[in-house]
Structure 1
Amino acid sequence: MTKRKIPFAWEIVVWLWLAYFMNQADRQLYSVVQKQVQDALGLSDIQTGLVNTVLIASMAVMMPIAGFVGDRFSRRRIILWSLLAWSVATMLTGFTNGLVSLIVVRSLATAVGEAFFLPAATALIGQYHVKTRGQALAIYQTAQYFGAVSCGWVGGWIAGNYGWKHSFWIFGGAGVVLVALMWSRLKDAPKTAVAVVREPISAVLGALFRTPTALVLTLALGCSTFVNMGCLAWMPTYLQLEPFSLTPAKAGLFSMLYYQIFSFVGVLLGGRVSDKIVGNRPSFRIELSGLALLLCVPTLYLMGATHSLWLVYATLGAFGFFRGLYDSNIYASLFDVTSPRHHSSATGMMAGFSFGVGSLAPLILGVIKQSYALNIGISMLGIVYVFGSLALLVTARAFFPSDYARNRQPLPSSDNNQ
């Protein structure tokens, strides 16, 4: 009896999960070794935060362009060349010797490579999965948690034992190897899976701006990304300060471990539950997202207010779980109200805006740390989530029903993800 092979639609999720894993690991790597880089290159707190800010701001500029490209050209090629580009840039980061070279290689070159991946990869999964879209995108989303945890542990250990430069060389080299493995297996979706219409950019933008739900989802993701970027950028440093005083390896690991483990649980639960409920209550994805962001607020306040290391870990876990519930429905909600031929463009616009807003967080927290204290900045991040949560909960009632009805299309007669 022959073993049943994994359906190709799910194999695609596996390969893109691995690529997204490297995407998140490489992006988080700088934050893990940030203190060592700062000491080695003699950077101030503001200069240190500026490196991440330029990276994220560059991605914000490139994401919308990447989204439009992803709706017009081979998504397979975009994904592979993007992975190769940011992996090489990560390796080159290990050769930098000052602020300017660090920004050019780490911020600009890495950003251009990473920016083209997300819209194309997310849209490709959306093509292969219709009935299981929420679950497939939730599984794909878990890669960011595993990537950050692995990077926090392995990257911190490498930096502590061999130096921060080796961390960039090893992680970047692993990405190059993954490109070689994916080259023959990754395939574009069949042409029949989505209508191929190369509309002018003005028409695509017009369609998106006439969809209020898509605009509010974009605003909420901006709020979420701002908080996430701030936490990821400064949490390893926060745990190395008094009263915690952890080593670089332990700070890199524990700043990510509890947060990412519970995020993993939250994102899988959110994706699974949403797929079952949206058939009877289409607005459930947005309602769950709004509630999840609201529940994150007290965890962020306690995270910065406590002097207990274990309470920091507990609030990181709770924050991660609620954040995972939110993450599980980001793009599935967007695809509910946008045309399939606009999915990559919509993803690029949404991600571009969110990275633009999020790019300010590392720099702002650097300013707060230098002028006041880092724990104050972490506690204040919850205020941003309040705005995002309220916007989503209002939209679920006010705009989503009409946007969803206008975009609703019958499912294909044969679903290629089964």
Structure 2
Amino acid sequence: MEGNVGREKQKYIILGLLFMTWIINYLDKLSINIAVIPIAKEFHLNESQTGLIISVFFMSYAVMQLIGGWLSDKYGSRKVILISLLLWSVFTILTGYAWSFISLIVIRLLFGLGEGSFPAASSLALAESFPKAERGRAKSVLTSATTIGGLLSTVIAASLITTIGWRNLFHAFGVLGILMSVLLFFFLKPSVTENVKDVEQKATKVPFKKLLKMPMLWQLMIMYFGVSIVNWGLASWMPSYLVKVKHLDLVSMGAISMIPAAVGFISVLTTGWIIDKFMVGREKYLIIIGAIISGVCVYLMAHAPSIPLVITYQSINNIGALLATTTILTLPLKYFSPGTIGTAVGFMYFGGQLAGAISPSIMGFVISLFNGSYNAAFIFLMLAMIIPIITALTLRTKDSSPEVLQAQVQ
């Protein structure tokens, strides 16, 4: 009895620690979207160069997703999380010492390598600590940390840049990450709570080549690629859009951005509950509905005549986009065997970070091509949401289980 109580307490401690780490992750990662405004002025950068600074991080980040997932399955989530957090915190600090466009490119490239292992490792830590029936809610809580991190990064970055400058902003966030790694060192101790059969499955590693034969793996990666085009495109360029096109100052922009982020936070938590309670085996319908809502709202946002309407459509977009995103991110934890979760999640995140590498650069190029107009860039995002809709129509989870998926690669 005491052992069960101890395991219950430990899994929520782990969830809380990972929640805080994800918030720090997004503070470090997304602050560049605000900081790039004064950086572009200081280094005399155009929109294409600005987009490249944002995108280069995702190039190395994407590559490391694949390696990080495999490392997590091989060496365990704890080691990979600690090393990744330390590395990206160091490169966050170094970002504040950048002296040129090229130095920023190099530092952001290394930043991506350091951070790339964390998403898959954190998902594996959840799978090691929560039973399948609770993983949708646990993953939604973890995903909600990204919305809080996105909210805080905009508000805090905008405020700190105007008071202490963009360089000191990165120094402060990097130190915060190092302090968090000390806390994780002492308290992050994932333990498998599934039954004996699952533990035995965990010991059975599936070769990566065989894992690639699983149709669901590719479907998840493609869907996550599509929704991430929109998520990272808006995260990267909405601050600049609100400042340059809608003529808000940095502080006002940061404050008003809290509204869509707060709506997204509620959407993520609600989605996790819906998945676990009502949509087991029918998750693809949530993905389709969410993607349609997002695509329509991106179009409306591009043509909104006022700031209140822009924020309204952005908020509804967050409901749809995060409905699809949260569902996609939960599926590997429910339908893949424990010994493959880290690698599978890493592969899926690889698709998402490819989108992160592509989307900001394409949008920057399109905005430059149309002389500062964002309309064509928003149309690009709207069309990207067709990808998860079409792919979700082919997804079959109703009769799937870890055992069935495992058998597909035998």
Normalising by the residue count of structure 2, what TM-score does the alignment of the two structures yield? 0.91
What CA distance in whole angstroms lies between the structure 2 residues aligned with 1:343 and 1:179?
Answer: 23
CA spacing shift, 1:211–1:336, aligned 2, 3 Å? farther
What CA distance in whole angstroms lies between the structure 2 residues aligned with 1:381 and 1:229?
Answer: 10
Partner SS state of residue 108, structure 1: helix
Match of 1:223 among 211, 226, 246: 226
Residues 41-71 of structure 1, C-alpha deviations (whole Å, 9 max, x = no match) = 1112111110111111111111101110000
Deviation at 1:368, TM superposition (A): 1.0
- Opposite residue 346 of structure 1, the aligned amino acid is A
Aligned partner of 1:214 in structure 2 is 217
Aligned partner of 2:354 in structure 1 is 356
Deviation at 1:172, TM superposition (A): 1.2
Residues 188-232 of structure 1, C-alpha deviations (whole Å, 9 max, x = no match) = 3249663443647xx23313x332222111101000111111111
- Opposite residue 267 of structure 2, the aligned amino acid is G
What root-mean-square deviation, in Å, do the aligned CA atoms of Structure 1 and Structure 2 show? 2.0
Q: Is the 8 A contact 2:158 2:254 kept in 1?
A: yes
1:82-97 equivalence runs, <5 A: 82-97=84-99
Residues 315-354 of structure 1, C-alpha deviations (whole Å, 9 max, x = no match) = 1110111122223222321233322100000000110122
Aligned partner of 1:112 in structure 2 is 113
Partner SS state of residue 188, structure 1: coil
Aligned partner of 1:342 in structure 2 is 340
Report whether the alignment pairs 1:204 with 2:208.
yes
Aligned partner of 2:385 in structure 1 is 385
Match of 1:185 among 179, 187, 192: 187
- Opposite residue 395 of structure 1, the aligned amino acid is T
Partner SS state of residue 360, structure 1: helix
Partner SS state of residue 233, structure 2: helix
What CA distance in whole angstroms lies between the structure 1 residues aligned with 2:187 and 2:270?
Answer: 29
Q: Is the 8 A contact 1:45 1:366 kept in 2?
A: yes
Which is worse superposed, 76-85 or 375-384?
Answer: 375-384
Deviation at 1:95, TM superposition (A): 0.5
Report whether the alignment pairs 1:53 with 2:59.
no
Aligned partner of 2:289 in structure 1 is 291
What CA distance in whole angstroms lies between the structure 2 residues aligned with 1:293 and 1:214?
Answer: 19
Deviation at 1:408, TM superposition (A): 7.7
CA spacing shift, 1:74–1:216, aligned 2, 3 Å? closer
Q: Is the 8 A contact 1:234 1:362 kept in 2?
A: yes
Deviation at 1:366, TM superposition (A): 0.5
1:264-343 equivalence runs, <5 A: 264-278=265-279, 282-343=280-341
Aligned partner of 1:395 in structure 2 is 394
Aligned partner of 2:83 in structure 1 is 81
Deviation at 1:388, TM superposition (A): 1.2
Q: Is the 8 A contact 2:214 2:405 kept in 1?
A: no
What CA distance in whole angstroms lies between the structure 2 residues aligned with 1:88 and 1:129?
Answer: 31
What CA distance in whole angstroms lies between the structure 1 residues aligned with 2:199 and 2:378?
Answer: 43
What CA distance in whole angstroms lies between the structure 2 residues aligned with 1:401 and 1:211?
Answer: 16
- Opposite residue 331 of structure 1, the aligned amino acid is L
- Opposite residue 163 of structure 1, the aligned amino acid is G
Deviation at 1:156, TM superposition (A): 0.7
What CA distance in whole angstroms lies between the structure 2 residues aligned with 1:328 and 1:380?
Answer: 22
Report whether the alignment pairs 1:133 with 2:135.
yes
Deviation at 1:406, TM superposition (A): 4.7
Residues 127-164 of structure 1, C-alpha deviations (whole Å, 9 max, x = no match) = 21122110001001111011111110111111112211
What CA distance in whole angstroms lies between the structure 1 residues aligned with 2:176 and 2:375?
Answer: 35
Match of 1:173 among 175, 181, 191: 175
Q: Is the 8 A contact 1:302 1:379 kept in 2?
A: no
Which blocks of at least 5 consecutive residues in structure 2 are unaligned? none
1:226-241 equivalence runs, <5 A: 226-241=229-244
Q: Is the 8 A contact 1:59 1:111 kept in 2?
A: yes
Deviation at 1:34, TM superposition (A): 1.3
Normalising by the residue count of structure 1, what TM-score does the alignment of the two structures yield? 0.90
Partner SS state of residue 385, structure 2: helix
